[in-house]
Structure 1
Amino acid sequence: MKNSIFLLIIALSFRAMAQPNIENASISTIKIKNHIHLLQWEGAGNMMLLSGKDGNILVDDQFAPLSEKINAAVQAVSKGPIRFLFNTHYHGDHSGGNENFAKMGAVIFAHENVRARMALDSTKIRFRQKPKPTPEAAWPVITYKEGMTLHLNGEDVIIFHVDNAHTDGDVLFYLLQSNVLHTGDCFMKGRFPFIDNNSGGSVDGWLNAASRALTLIDEETVIIPGHGDLANKKDYRAARDAVMTLRDAVRKEVKANTSLDGILAKNLAKDYDTTFGSGFIKGDALIRTIYIEQVNKK
C-alpha cells in the first residue's frame, strides 16, 4: 500500500511538473546544425526536427494543445508538412500531439510497446496500472522491436530500443553524420531520472541504457535530453555515475537487511541533490525507487 501511494504521488508530481501555463506556452527553436533543430518548451519533452530534401521529420510532439504552435515552429525552419513523426516513448508530454499530427498527414513510428500501451494491448503488455486508452488515430502505424535505421536528409539515423529503462518502450536516436543523440527521457540534464516502473521502467535498465549510449558517442556529441538544455557526454556520464553509485549503495544496504527508513536516514544522496535535484525527482525519491526494485529482486 505504501509503495502504491508513493508511486501515485510521483505520477501526480510528474503531471503537475509537465504542464505549467500550457495556454501561454511558446516553442523555442535552437539550431544545432542547418538541418537539425531542438524545438523546446520547458513544460514538456524536447523535440528534434530533422529537415531537408526528404521532408520534415519530427521526434516527439509534446501535448495536443501545442500542436499548432509546434507546427508553426517547424514551418518557420522548413516549409512543408511533417512527413514522419517518431515517439521516444508513450508518455503524453512526448506523444500527446500524435492524433493532431496524424491528421496533418504525418506517419507515426514508435516501439511496439508504445502502440501496445496506447491501445492497452494486454497481449503484448502486462499492466500494473491501466491508463485510459488514447484514440486510435494517435497510435503509431509503424512499429519495431529492436530498432531501425533511416537514411534521410543526409543522415543515417540509428534508432535503437533500450529495455526497461525509463519505460519499456524507450528508443534513442543517433544521427551518425552530425553526431547528435536524442535520448528521450532516458536522460534529463541536471535531473535524477524518473523511473516509471508502472510502465516497465527500472533503475537497472536505465543504467544499462545509459551505458549503451555512452559507448556509442564521443566527447563532441551533442545530446538532446528528454528535458533540459542541450548536453554532452560528460553530462550524461555524470548522471549515469551518480545513479550507479546510489544503486550500489542501496543494494549493499538491502543485502544487510537495512530498512528503507534506515537507508533514508543515511542521506546517501546528499552529495548529488544540488547537482541532480532540479527536477521533481529528489534524491530520497530515487532512493525509494532503487530500494523497492532491489527488495523485489531478493
Structure 2
Amino acid sequence: MIRTGLTTLAAALALSGLALAQQSPPAAPPAPDFSKVEIKTTDLGDGIYMLEGQGGNITVATARDGIIMVDSEFAPLHDKIKAAIATISPLPVKYLINTHFHGDHTGGNAPFAKDGAIIVSEVNVKTRLAAGTTNGLTGVKTPPAAPEALPAKTYTGRYKIRMPGRVADLKHIANAHTDGDTYVWFKTANVLATGDTFTNGRYPNIDFANGGNINGMIAAADTYLKLTNARSRIVPGHGPIADKAALQAYRTMLATARDRMAKLVKDGKSEDEVVAAKPFADLDAKWALSELASSNFIRVVYHSLADKPAEKKPLLKRILHRS
C-alpha cells in the first residue's frame, strides 16, 4: 500500500510538472548572428531608398543638407547601415523616425543619436521604451531602454519634418500594430513608409498587450489606400517593396480574418479552440511563413476581439488611490 501510494504520488507530481512545463511561455528566439547580415539597398527614385538587413525595413530620404531615416533595425548593425547610407549620400542622418517601439525597429536609436541624429516618434513610443514591455503571446519581458535610446522629440496626432528639398509628413495610427504607430509620407516622391502596420506577403504581428488591435490595422490599410495611387512605392515593415495592389490584398486578408474570428468569438470559442479550428487555413499558403506564424496570427486576432479593455478609473479616484 505504501509503495503503491508513493508510486501514485510520484506519477501525479510528474504529470503536474509536465503540465506546468506546458503552460510556461516559450523561450525567446536566439539572437541573430549580426556578423553575417548584409544590407541590401533599393532605389525608390527621387532620392529615397529602402534598406533591408535584419529586422524591420529602413527608409532613407535624402535632403540637400542631411538625411531623414525611418527606423534603425538593431544596434550591432549600426556600422553596416551607416556604410550603406554612405554609398547613397555623404551627408549625416539628421532625423531618425521610429514607426513604433519594437527593438527590431528602434535598436539603433542610441548609436545614431550619438552620431547626432534627432530621434522622433509618437509619444507612446517613448513611454513604452522608457517603461519596458511584455510580449502578450510569450510573456517575454523587454527591459526599459537606456535614456540615450529614447526619442528626443515626440508628437501626438501629426507632425511634419521640413528640410531643404525634403518634407516628411508623420501621422499617428491609433491602436493598430501597437498604440504608438507612425506612418511617414514623402508626398513629392510618392513613397510611403508604414512600419509594421503593413507587412508585405506575410501575416503581421498585432501587439495586443501594448495597444494593438486588428480593427486598427484595417483602419491603417484604409488610410494608406486613400493616400496612395498605382505609382506609389510602399515600404512595409517587413517584406519586399510593395504597390497599392499588394496593399489591397493585405487589407482583404485582414478583413477576412477579422470577420471569421468575430463569429468564433461570438460563439464563445476559447483561444485554444480557435487555434485547433484553423480558421485561416486557406490564407496560410500565401501569408504564413511557418506553422508558428499561422497559429500566432490566430491568437493575436483572437485577443484583438475577445479581450475586454482594461477598466480606467476616473482621474479623481486614481489620485485618491495613490494618496
Cα deviation, residue 146, structure 1: 0.9
Q: Does 1:286 align with 2:297?
A: yes
Cα deviation, residue 210, structure 1: 1.5
Could you tell me how far apart the structure 1 residues matched to 2:251 and 2:243 are? Answer: 13
> Could you tell me which of 169, 194, 206 is aligned with 2:217?
206
* Cα-to-partner distance string for 1:108-146 (whole Å, 9 max, x where unaligned): 11111111111118xxx9998763111101111100011
Give the partner amino acid of 1:51. Answer: T
- Unaligned segments of structure 1, at least 5 residues: none
> Could you tell me which of 22, 26, 38 is aligned with 2:34?
22
Residues 191 and 279, structure 1, Cα contact 8 Å, conserved in 2: no
Max Rg structure: 2
Residues 192 and 281, structure 1, Cα contact 8 Å, conserved in 2: no
* Cα-to-partner distance string for 1:83-132 (whole Å, 9 max, x where unaligned): 111111111111111110111111111111111111118xxx99987631
Greater mean alpha carbon deviation, residues 197-206 or residues 99-108: 197-206
What does 1:93-108 correspond to in 2, within 5 Å? Answer: 93-108=104-119
> Could you tell me which of 47, 52, 56 is aligned with 1:45?
56
Q: Does 1:215 align with 2:226?
A: yes
Could you tell me how far apart the structure 1 residues matched to 2:165 and 2:208 are? Answer: 37
Cα deviation, residue 47, structure 1: 0.5
Could you tell me how far apart the structure 1 residues matched to 2:164 and 2:196 are? Answer: 25
> Could you tell me which of 246, 251, 257 is aligned with 1:246?
257
> Could you tell me which of 48, 61, 67 is aligned with 1:56?
67
Distance 1:209 1:49, change over 3 A: same
Q: TM-score, normalised by structure 2?
A: 0.81
Cα deviation, residue 282, structure 1: 2.8
Give the partner amino acid of 1:192. Answer: Y
Cα deviation, residue 262, structure 1: 4.3
Cα deviation, residue 268, structure 1: 2.0
Residues 191 and 281, structure 1, Cα contact 8 Å, conserved in 2: no
Could you tell me how far apart the structure 1 residues matched to 2:227 and 2:57 are? Answer: 21
Distance 1:281 1:160, change over 3 A: farther
Q: Does 1:173 align with 2:218?
A: no
Distance 1:126 1:288, change over 3 A: closer
Determine the structure 2 residue equivalent to 1:189.
200
Could you tell me how far apart the structure 2 residues matched to 1:241 and 1:180 are? Answer: 22
Could you tell me how far apart the structure 1 residues matched to 2:67 and 2:86 are? Answer: 9
Residues 176 and 215, structure 2, Cα contact 8 Å, conserved in 1: yes
Q: Across the two proteins, how many residue pairs are aligned to each other?
A: 286
Could you tell me how far apart the structure 2 residues matched to 1:210 and 1:169 are? Answer: 16
Could you tell me how far apart the structure 1 residues matched to 2:304 and 2:197 are? Answer: 18
Q: Which runs of 4+ in 1 moved over 6 A?
A: 125-129
Give the partner amino acid of 1:105. Answer: G
Aligned to 1:186, the other structure's residue is in SS state strand
Distance 1:127 1:273, change over 3 A: closer
% identity of equivalent residues = 36
Could you tell me how far apart the structure 2 residues matched to 1:265 and 1:126 are? Answer: 25
Residues 273 and 283, structure 1, Cα contact 8 Å, conserved in 2: yes
What does 1:12-161 correspond to in 2, within 5 Å? Answer: 12=28, 15-16=29-30, 19-41=31-53, 43-120=54-131, 131-161=142-172
Residues 155 and 176, structure 1, Cα contact 8 Å, conserved in 2: no
Residues 50 and 153, structure 1, Cα contact 8 Å, conserved in 2: no
Could you tell me how far apart the structure 2 residues matched to 1:217 and 1:249 are? Answer: 28
Residues 88 and 172, structure 1, Cα contact 8 Å, conserved in 2: yes
Cα deviation, residue 224, structure 1: 0.4
Distance 1:247 1:74, change over 3 A: same
Cα deviation, residue 263, structure 1: 3.4
